[in-house]
Amino acid sequence: MSAETTHSQIAFPQETLAEVNRILGLFPEDNKKSALLRVLHIAQAEFGWLDVPVMDYVARLLHINPVEVYEVATFYSMYDTKPVGKVKLEVCRTGPCMIEGAEKIVKYIEDKLGIKDGETTADGVFTLKTVECLGACGYAPMLQAGEQFHEHLTEEKVDALIEKYRANPRANYMGM
C-alpha cells in the first residue's frame, strides 16, 4: 500500500455518522456488530475502498476488534481491499448471461477501455470486473455499476453508459 492510496484522515462526515447511528439502532444493545456489513458498504462508498485505517475506523465505531472487520472485508466479494476505479463495471458472466452473450460484452469493454478483467483505467475512472449471477438473468446480458443495474446490454448501450459515468462517476450512487 503506497502512501498516496492509503487513507490517512479517516472520519465520516456528520450526516454519514447520523446514518451509521440509525443503522446501529436497528439492532439490540449487545449485538451492534450486526451493523458491520452495512457500515462497510458505507465506508467503501465514502472512501472508495477499504484499507487498514478505514477498517480500523469502522472497528472503533462498532466497538469491535479490527480483526473482526478484516475477516469480513476479505470474505465478501463486494468489498475492495485494494484500490479500484471510481466506477466498477461488474459484468455478470454466469450461465444465463453467458448464453446471451456476456463474453462478447466483456471483450467489448476490454477493447474499448484498454483494460482486462480486474484492471483499472489509467485515469482511475473505470474498473472492469466479471462477477457471478446478479439476479437479472432474464434481462441478460447485464452489468452493475455502483447500485445501478444495466440490462439487455448492447454495444451501443455500453458506449452510452461509459460516456455517462465518465462525465459523472457518482451517477451510480443513489445516496447512502
Partner 1 sequence: MGRKLLLEHANIEGIASYDVYRKNGGYRSVEKALKTMTPDEVVEEVKKSGLRGRGGAGFPTGMKWSFLAKPEGVPRYLLCNADESEPGTFKDRYLMEKIPHLLIEGMITSSFALGANQSYIYIRGEYMYVLRILEKAIAEAYANGWLGKNILGSGYNLDLAVSPGAGAYICGEETALIESLEGKRGNPRIKPPFPAVKGLWGCPTVVNNVETIAAVVPIVNDGGDEYAKIGIGKSTGTKLISASGNIRKPGVYEIELGISVDEFLNSEEWCGGMKNGKRLKACVPGGSSVPILPHFLVTKTAAGEDRLMSYESLADGGFATGSMLGSGGFIVYDEDQCIVRNTWNFTRFYHHESCGQCSPCREGTGWMEKVLHRLEYGHGKMEDIDLLWDIQRKIEGNTICPLGDAAAWPVAAAIRHFREEFEWHVNEPQACMQRNYGLVAEKVFAPASV
CA-to-CA distance for 115 and 109, rounded, in angstroms? 8
Q: Which does 142 bind (CB under 5 to 8 A by kind): ligand FES, partner 1, none?
A: ligand FES
Among 10, 125, 134, 171, interactor with ligand FES by CB under 6 A: 134
Provide the grid cell at 68.
Answer: 473482526
CA-to-CA distance for 64 and 28, rounded, in angstroms? 15
56 binds partner 1 (CB under 8 A): no
Site for ligand FES in 43-102 (CB under 6 A): 92, 94-97
Among 1, 98, 122, 160, interactor with partner 1 by CB under 8 A: 98
Candidate ranges 75-83, 105-113, 120-128, 158-166; the one touching partner 1 (CB under 8 A): 75-83
118 binds partner 1 (CB under 8 A): no
136 binds partner 1 (CB under 8 A): yes
3-state secondary structure 55-107: HHHHHHHHCCCHHHHHHHHHHCCCCCCCCCCCEEEEEECCHHHHCCCHHHHHH
Candidate ranges 13-21, 53-61, 136-144, 157-165; the one touching ligand FES (CB under 6 A): 136-144
AA letter at 17: L
Provide the grid cell at 102.
Answer: 456476456
Q: How far is the CB of 26 from partner 1 (least distance, A)?
A: 4
Phi, psi (5° rounding) for residue 90? -105, 105
Provide the grid cell at 62.
Answer: 462498532
- Bridge-based pairing of strands 143-145 and 126-131 is unpaired
Which residues of the shown chain bind ligand FES in the complex (CB under 6 A)? 92, 94-97, 133-137, 140, 142
Which residues of the shown chain bind partner 1 in the complex (CB under 8 A)? 26-28, 30-31, 33-38, 40-41, 62, 64, 68, 71-72, 75-79, 93-96, 98-100, 131-140, 144, 147-149, 174-175
